[in-house]
């Protein structure tokens, strides 16, 4: 898509969203219902899961939340939008919003099926703006560190079966039956291994979404490589990739949606 600057770091990537172009707006319009409800579910009834109705439901959630929760929602939206540009071999097996409660998701932030080897990846997204006296690289370190700790705890000290239950519902909404069944089998196998007391190291996609003006500082490839080396060195996951995103204004995509809701082109 136009408006992006991409840096590859092996299997990881840094993307700077420099501007919300018409190309990005069009992609958001075409894919937003797929993000929110899953590609399969949204495809069952294009009218029921129309862009306009989906945006309306989104703001019924978004406008009731505190600033920190809104920032998290905006960050996850950016990840859904840019995933194919940073990690094209990962097929989303998750949905953006909670289905039953019309609330922020209660499970894993992200789950993916690897198109190359058919394995499952678990993702965690942490978003934040850069405080005075800091810079984009330092914030990326901080956010990835938080994502790493948070995701690891879901498999060690903060194990909740509902996360795997929610991920299975997501798979049915996002993937065709054969691929959904494969993801569900992998999810159940992972949970049962942990439930029986095994130490389970999973494949992790750790995402940091940093809000900071580009002219002040930008996340660079050297920092991305250093973070990746540090995380892999700690050995908390079987495999790990990073997805580092910087945007000068994290609310820009949300404003695009609000303008659409208001009928502003």
pLDDT tens by residue, 44-90:
999 999 999 999 999 999 999 998 889 999 999 999 999 988 898 99
- In this structure, the chain runs to a length of 265
Residue 38's domain spans which residues?
Answer: 4-262
What is the value of pTM for the model shown?
A: 0.94
Contacts of 119 (CB under 8 A, 6+ apart): 113, 186, 203
DSSP-assigned beta bridge partners for residue 8: 13
Check: CB of residue 12 under 8 Å from CB of residue 243.
yes
8 A C-beta contact, residue 240 and residue 232: yes
Are 99 and 173 in contact, with CB atoms under 8 Å apart?
Answer: yes
Could you tell me which of 40, 53, 27 has the C-alpha nearest to residue 170? Answer: 40
Contact at 8 Å (CB) between 158 and 124?
A: no
**149-168 tens-digit pLDDT:** 999 999 999 999 999 999 99
pLDDT at 8: 86
Q: How many separate domains does the chain show?
A: 1
Helix (H, G, I), strand (E, B) or coil at 16: strand
Q: Can you say how many angstroms the Cα of residue 182 is from the centroid of all Cα atoms in its chain?
A: 21
């Amino acid at each position: 898509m136009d408006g992006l600057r991409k840096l590859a770091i092996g299997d990881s990537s840094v993307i700077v969203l420099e501007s919300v172009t018409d190309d990005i707006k069009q992609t958001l319009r075409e894919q937003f219902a797929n993000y929110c409800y899953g590609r399969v579910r949204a495809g069952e009834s294009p009218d029921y899961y129309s862009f306009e109705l989906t945006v309306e439901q989104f703001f019924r959630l978004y406008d009731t939340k505190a600033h920190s929760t809104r920032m998290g929602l905006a960050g996850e939206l950016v990840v859904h939008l840019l995933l194919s540009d940073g990690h094209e071999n990962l097929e989303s097996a998750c949905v953006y919003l909670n289905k039953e409660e019309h609330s922020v998701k209660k499970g894993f932030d992200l789950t993916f099926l690897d198109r190359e080897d058919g394995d499952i990846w678990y993702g965690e997204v942490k978003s934040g703006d850069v405080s005075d006296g800091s810079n984009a690289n330092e914030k990326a370190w901080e956010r990835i560190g938080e994502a790493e700790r948070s995701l690891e705890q879901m498999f060690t000290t903060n194990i909740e079966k509902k996360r795997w239950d929610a991920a299975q519902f997501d798979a049915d909404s996002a993937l065709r039956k054969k691929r959904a069944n494969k993801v569900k089998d992998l999810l159940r196998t992972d949970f049962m291994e942990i439930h029986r007391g095994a130490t389970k190291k999973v494949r992790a996609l750790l995402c940091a979404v940093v809000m900071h003006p580009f002219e002040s500082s930008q996340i660079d490839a050297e920092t991305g490589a250093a973070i990746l080396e540090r995380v892999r060195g700690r050995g908390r996951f079987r495999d790990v990739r990073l997805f580092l995103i910087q945007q000068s204004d994290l609310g820009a995509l949300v404003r695009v949606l609000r303008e659409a809701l208001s009928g502003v082109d």
